[in-house]
Structure 1
Amino acid sequence: MLAADQRPPLYQLVSAARPGISREALGEEVARLKALVVEVLGPLATGVLLDPLHGGLALDRLPRQAGLLLTLEDHRFRETPEGFRLSRPIPRWGVGSAARVGADGVKLLIWYRPDAPEEVRRHQLDLVRRVGQACNRWGQAFILEVLPYPLPGEDKPPALWEEMLRDFADPGLGVDLYKLPYVPGMPSRFSQVLPAPWVLLSGGRDARSFLLALEEALASGARGFLAGRAFWLEALSAYPDWASVREGLEASRSVMKQAVELLAALSPEEVA
């Protein structure tokens, strides 16, 4: 599956290429980039993940065979004074909204640290549970993305994945599919502990390192991928040269084809 719901990385890309661009024009350019990504790479995907803020143009390019996934989370999360993150939905948007516009499923990103204060962890888990309940009511597939994050002064988040798995392995959360990063030594644990299948995200990896991570993840029980930047970020770096962006995306089809071939090589029992 192809992820094209990213917002801050594209805001930064467009703003760097066009200093002083207005907020309205910024949104329009991000929407055009997403539409081009879906036009060129979408035909290789079984599903495409978009956001409701800038994904409208891309909907017109959505291949007939691809399922539509829509993201729920606002990229502007809240923070406590200590730097712990509190996720929230996009304002005036939710599972019902996604269902009414024809989505097949929704994705929620949860920033999470198991060492956060109890009220922060409870806020995050309660949000997941509410989304799971809403997906059950609306008949939507629920894809949960869980990512750790560093606090101010930290170079990277601590390796607390075992504790994170403990908190998110509750079947009562209603998760149908987990979207997770490559973590050395953890792919097999994801497959053993989680109550639903999981797929690999690219997490900003370049094409080569993503394909290596995907190969290991699939061998360890992952059921596929839901990735974006490994396929399209290098091509989009040519913006605002639209001809070069398209040329780069056409070239990156070979990377996505390799990812699809890795998945196709699995036996039917491994992906059932």
Structure 2
Amino acid sequence: MKYVSAEKLRKLEKLSTDNQVISALAIDQRGSLRKMISAEGNTEDIQSAVEKFKIAISEELTSYSSSILLDPEYGLPAAKRKNENAGLLLAYEETGYDATEPGRLPDLLPYWSAKRIEEIGADAVKFLLYYDADESNEINDQKKAFVERIGSECDAEEIPYFLEILTYDKDIDDNKSKEFAKVKPRKVIKAIEEFSKDRYGVDVLKVEVPVNMNFVEGFSKGESVYTKEEASQYFADQDAATHLPYIYLSAGVSAQMFQDTLVFAKESGAKFNGVLCGRATWKDSVPIFAKEGENAAREWLKTEGVANIESLNKVLDATASSWSNRIGSK
């Protein structure tokens, strides 16, 4: 059990449903979203296009979500257009990483701080960390210190700290490969164990599921890496690895696969506390936006997008656990 200030708890409740479950919409993509839109059409003003797309997502979908995750670079106009009952998380990290340098080291947006994020009305700070438990101490100690600094900032401003962890292996280029699937459970669980320590000040973990579901027996269309029993045990081990609230990210899988994964997690004993779901909800509207325009994309969001969220919410009602058993007021 983690204890936080009454103000942090108030903000966490703003981000959650009445049942203390986080049903959040993620649209903090920047570089990847620019590429997605550009790949589908000749957009002259990509800055404006990304901003307009995020506004459409915010206006059409936040009535169905407990909160929305945006970024300060493209997302502030969308933050002003969200449903007033939806909470707001803002990303603090620079998008991507320098692939020419080893270690996927993080960096922060240069004109932002936890104080500034709190001052514009956000209810939480989100920071993305790429982490390989088997990297050198020289690299991982830099990352640990980075996470600690942000934790101290968030404590000072009494704003919840969401740490998103994306695992990788420094010797495997493709994290969707069978080779990475074999090592992923250990990578994910070791990272969660590390950043659950009090010294980091993390309030909520945003994490990957511990296996690649495309290689789970019964879910896989090809060769399997894990039996259902093995995969189920990894979910249970992940749950046991932290005392903090944790939520799952969708990692770009289809809406149906993500929902099936949540059911499997629940059946495996995972007491996860919600989701921050991005592309699984809205990615199919990107080519419509780029080729047919904003109005056509909004029509898709009002129908298919809303249907994706409503079906996800039904699954969450049946699978997610209240974070009140993991975090409380001092």
| TM-score normalised by structure 1 residue count | 0.91
How big is the alpha-carbon RMSD for the aligned residues of Structure 1 and Structure 2? 2.1
- Cα deviation for residue 17 of structure 1 reads 2.9
**Mapping for residues 8-157 of structure 1, pairs under 5 Å:** 8-19=31-42, 21=43, 25-79=45-99, 81=101, 83-151=102-170, 154-156=173-175, 157=180
Match of 1:245 among 297, 318, 324: 297
AA paired with 2:204? L
Q: Give the distance between the partners of 1:172 and 1:40, measured in 2 at CA.
A: 39
AA at the equivalent of 1:136: D
**Letter of the aligned partner of 1:73 in structure 2?**
E
- Does structure 1 conserve the Cα–Cα contact (< 8 Å) formed by 2:165 and 2:207? yes
Given residue 176 of structure 1, which amino acid in structure 2 is its aligned partner? D
Give the count of matched residue pairs. Answer: 268
1:202 aligns with 2:250: yes
Distance 1:84 1:265, change over 3 A: same
Instruction: Answer yes or no: is 1:180 the counterpart of 2:230.
Output: no
1:254 corresponds to which residue? 307
For residue 187 of structure 1, report the CA deviation from its aligned partner: 2.8
Q: Aligned letter for 2:299?
A: E
CA gap of 1:246–1:150, structure 2 versus 1, over 3 A, is farther
In 2, Cα distance between equivalents of 1:255 and 1:18: 25
Following TM superposition, by how much is the alpha carbon of 1:78 offset from its aligned partner in structure 2, in angstroms?
3.5
Q: What displacement does 1:268 show? A: 7.2
TM-score between both structures, scaled by the size of structure 2: 0.76
Q: Which range moved further: 131-140 or 141-150? A: 141-150
Given the superposition, is the C-alpha separation of residues 89 and 246 from structure 1 closer, same or farther in structure 2, using an over 3 Å criterion?
same
C-alpha distance 244-177 of structure 1, shift in aligned 2 (>3 A): same
Identity between Structure 1 and Structure 2 (%)? 27
| Structure 1, unaligned runs of 5 or more | none
Q: Tell me whether 1:234 sits opposite 2:254 in the alignment.
A: no
User: Aligned partner of 2:301: which letter?
Assistant: L
CA contact (8 A) 1:223 1:271 kept: no
User: Which residue identity lines up with residue 57 of structure 1 in the other structure?
Assistant: P
Residue identity opposite 1:104 in structure 2? D
Unaligned runs of 5+ in 2: 1-23, 212-230, 326-330
